[in-house]
Amino acid sequence: MSTDDEEEPRVPIVCPACETRSRVPIEEVADTVERHNERLHDGEDVAEVDPAIAEHIADLVADDMGLFDDGEESPNE
């Protein structure tokens, strides 16, 4: 009876350059990616949400993010 995993969606972040992979709570994803890229890659978009599940995340986010309404979505310039 350990369903701890289900309680909070965790999102895999991958960085091909560093060959790292980590999981963070969904509400920390943007921040974690940004900080990683800033500290290790001069602000370039190297690390990102695992593309394999990125589309699922979109669903989760749409579902979950009534609280997150401040358009922190596009780090593209």
Binding site for Zn ion (CB under 5 A): 15, 17-18, 40, 47
What number of other Cβ atoms are within 10 A of residue 21's Cβ?
12
Cα 60 from chain centre: 12
Find the shortest distance in angstroms from Cβ 61 to Zn ion: 23
Q: Which is nearer to Zn ion, 52 or 62 (CB)?
A: 52
What number of other Cβ atoms are within 10 A of residue 46's Cβ?
16
Q: Which is nearer to Zn ion, 65 or 75 (CB)?
A: 75
Name the amino acid, one letter, at 65: M
Find the shortest distance in angstroms from Cβ 37 to Zn ion: 7
